[in-house]
Amino acid sequence: MRVAAIDCGTNSIRLLIADVEASGRVRDVVRQMTVVRLGEGVDETGEFSAGALERTFAAVDSYGALIRRHHVEAVRFVATSASRDVTNRDEFVAGVKHRLGVEPEVIRGSEEAGLSFAGAASVLDWDAERKILVVDLGGGSTEFVLGTSAEVEHAISTDMGCVRFTERHMRSDPPTDTETSMTSFETLSFLENVSEVMPLHETEVVIGVAGTVTTVAAHALKLEDYEPDLIHGAEIDLDTLHQSVEQLVHSTRDVRAQMPIMHPGRVDVIGAGALIWGTILDYLNKVTHGRIVSAVASEHDILDGIAMSLAHAQARAPSAASAKPQG
């Protein structure tokens, strides 16, 4: 069946229109990302700004037109970190429902993590017994999901992300040593908390998803342009990744903006994101006693998990998941 999955995060809103086969395989029809910075200032004010809502609703209007054009049978709109606790959440929900005919689901972090794991694991061919850690590094939150290709065993969502930490710590251009130290220190604090509830030391394979990870991978691969087919599934050693992290963290915004792999909406937040990713990988190398020496980048993530969940829901109850966008 043809479905539309929308993932609305802190930094970007993304659309996947796909055909989901009976086997569960997801075949892309349209995959699109728009940086709307919905979570801009939320860490400080506790609400979505008028400008952020305007940018987001404009993107939703565009996505609705694509959904109608491609004759989608079912739509699911998932809203993540930034949408959980804001005071004007009702305005956001009403705006989306008016445009698409479906309410955005503000899902729990554990469900977000599970969808990300399903999306990543669905396209990477690993030994079913190997322990896979999927890290979904977003704008306002980072999810950690540990399990095998057949089963999620542990999942946790943390309040760290590239937008949140840029606003909180890394405001200089380029960031100062004090700012990078504070970012690393808070990242390590979160990782220690994760380790208390999840056996990170069991990790055998690390898969990173979302824009920060794939941008760092593109830089590490020395691509002349952002090429998803070359990034997806690329396994890169930690030394190479750390070289890219260092360059992205300490470059000015003007230098980053000139990089052909860099989406304009990531220019000002990639430094914090790259530093979070590098700190996570160092920590995993340490707790696994050197077993983790590389990381895999995946272009398939929560969007694919949402699409798969839609198809499964439709198969169980054909009338429950269907929705047509308004307009």
* 56, 145: one domain: no
- The radius of gyration of the chain's CA atoms, rounded to the nearest angstrom, is 19
Helix orientation angle between 270-287 and 211-220, rounded to the nearest 10 degrees: 80
Residue 127: the pLDDT is: 62
* 71, 93: one domain: yes
Residue 3: the pLDDT is: 94
Residue 26: the pLDDT is: 84
* 183, 287: one domain: yes
Residue 161: the pLDDT is: 92
* 187, 57: one domain: no
Residue 301: the pLDDT is: 83
Residues with Cβ < 8 Å from 242, sequence gap 6 or more?
A: 278, 281, 282
> In this structure, what token pair is assigned to residue 149?
């290709």
Q: What does the alpha-carbon distance between residue 318 and residue 175 come to, in Å, rounded to a whole number?
A: 52
Cβ proximity of 7 and 302 under 8 Å: yes
How far is residue 309 from each of residues 55, 71, 173, 320, measured CA to CA in Å? 27, 19, 42, 12
Question: For 285, phi and psi rounded to 5 degrees?
Answer: -60, -40
**pLDDT averaged over consecutive 10-residue blocks of the chain (327 residues)?**
91 92 83 89 87 96 97 91 78 94 85 81 69 91 86 88 91 93 95 96 93 96 93 94 96 94 91 96 97 93 88 62 51
pTM of the model: 0.77
82: containing domain: 2-108+303-316
* 223, 144: one domain: yes
The domain total for the chain is 2
